[in-house]
Amino acid sequence: MGAVRKGWLLLVVFALWSLAGCAPQISAPPVHSVAYYAAQIHPPVVAPVAPVVSPTISAATPAQPVRIVVSTTSHLLRIYRGDILLATYPVAIGFNGSAPRRIRGDDVTPVGHYHIGWILYGTQYGPFMGLTYPNKDNAEWGLKEGIITHRQYEAIVDAIDAGQTPPQNTPLGGEIGIHGMGPQFSDDPDSKVFPGRWTAGCVALSNWDAQQIAALVRVGTSVEIVGEVRGYRRNLDPRAELAWTQYLHRQKRDTEALPPHTDSSLHSVNYGHNPKPQKPDSRIIH
């Protein structure tokens, strides 16, 4: 019996020794980063699809020209390329608001469709983008009301039909443009136009904004001036009104007395050139 117990004891000791010999060979599972395990995940199989090609403008397709819309109601100038709005700028307008018709000296911004007829740099208001005012509608009204003569009317219409800037020195007025505030004001990008109605009929912006617009437009760029007609008045006292009427009658009489084609003061300017018109009306700030 003692021999049997001794045998079992030897077997137990041998088994324990065997387990102890295997223990160093059992190691803890390795610890890896999340990236390691993510890399082991095979990507799903996706059926191929046809590529989506975005429409592009061909190099042979010219870019659409820019156009300007001025709202005299909201005092904002918006510049578009086609139907895409590029920028919006605050503006000031004429001292007496806006109207679809005007005469020289009434400080009104003309509502209607025009073009940029010339661009001058280095003026007292920075870049000056002159408009092709008066247009045919202005001329028809002026003729009907007896403000301009038939010759003046024809000179305006002929210039517009020829793609030129109409005469700027008729009683309907001229030198209406888009411009900055001048060197006495800041050129800083954060500067703003002096708000409200204070020009002699032009559309005014800050110096910086005027420079941005001048860099985008060209001679012939479309300019649409829209808005409600409010506060339109001649701003002339009775004595000035009488003097103005007498002046118109004298101008009409003298002009009609001239032989045909001798009125060299009625001249138009081709869109293809930057003319040197009379200096913009110096009565900008009131």
Catalytic machinery residues: 179, 202
26/67 Cα distance (integer angstroms): 81
Q: CA angle, corner 92, sides to 90 and 93, nearest 5?
A: 135
Spatial CB neighbours of 99, under 8 Å, sequence gap ≥ 6: 108, 109, 110, 111, 229, 232
CA distance 24 to 9: 25
Contact 70, 223 (CB under 8 A): yes
SS3 151: helix
User: Which residue type is seen at 96?
Assistant: N
Residue 181 burial by Cβ neighbours in a 10 Å radius (0-12, 13-18, 19+) = buried
Q: What is the rounded distance in angstroms from the CA atom of residue 154 to the CA atom of residue 166?
A: 10
